[in-house]
């Protein structure tokens, strides 16, 4: 998603280009792109000028949406999202802490977009 965000507006990007830049195997990347496409975050086009694009502007895609598309609801431990995942959740003294921490992470990732990451990289490159 980061590679697509960096190149957004320049036309479709080949899977091979993304795999090379992000040092991912094509097989693994294909699985990721299939999931991201199914979730509506990525669109693909076939043919000579085909490849992958973001479905929306990078500024409109928060990181939490990507993580949840790939991994499901974000939680430090399963019981933070599903109390029935643990038989001790009703009496566990840290269960509420896990819920709060999971919510803090979700809130933070909801406020950071792909465009923010691209801007961070540009700023970091200017410093070095």
* 35-88 pLDDT, tens digit each: 999 999 999 999 888 899 999 999 999 999 999 999 999 888 888 788 788 888
Question: Can you give the pLDDT at residue 83?
Answer: 78
Do 50 and 28 have their domain in common?
yes
Whole-number Å distance between alpha carbons of 100 and 128: 37
Do 51 and 69 have their domain in common?
no
Do 42 and 17 have their domain in common?
yes
Q: Where are the beta strands (DSSP E) in the chain?
A: 42-45, 51-54
Tell me whether residue 39 is in a domain. yes
* 92-105 pLDDT, tens digit each: 888 889 989 999 99
Tell me whether residue 40 is in a domain. yes
Question: Residue 101's Cα: distance from chain center in Å?
Answer: 19
Tell me whether residue 128 is in a domain. no
Do 2 and 53 have their domain in common?
yes
45 CB-contact burial (10 Å; exposed 0-12 / middle 13-18 / buried 19+): exposed
9 CB-contact burial (10 Å; exposed 0-12 / middle 13-18 / buried 19+): exposed
Residue 83 vs residues 43, 86, 125: alpha-carbon distances, Å = 36, 6, 44
Mean pLDDT across the stretch 25-32?
A: 96
Domain count for the chain: 2
Domain that residue 75 falls in: 62-112
Residue 39 DSSP label: T
What pTM, to 2 d.p., does this model score?
0.86
Tell me whether residue 24 is in a domain. yes
């Amino acid at each position: 998603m980061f590679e697509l965000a960096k190149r957004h507006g320049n036309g479709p990007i080949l899977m091979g280009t993304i795999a090379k830049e992000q040092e991912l195997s094509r097989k693994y990347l294909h699985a990721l792109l299939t999931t991201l496409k199914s979730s509506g975050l990525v669109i693909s086009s076939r043919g000579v000028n085909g490849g992958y694009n973001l479905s929306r502007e990078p500024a409109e895609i928060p990181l939490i949406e990507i993580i949840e598309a790939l991994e499901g609801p974000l939680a430090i431990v399963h019981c933070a999202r599903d109390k029935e995942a643990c038989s001790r959740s009703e009496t566990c003294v840290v269960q509420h802490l896990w819920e709060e921490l999971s919510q803090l992470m979700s809130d933070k990732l909801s406020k950071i977009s792909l465009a923010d990451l691209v801007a961070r990289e540009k700023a970091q490159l200017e410093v070095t």
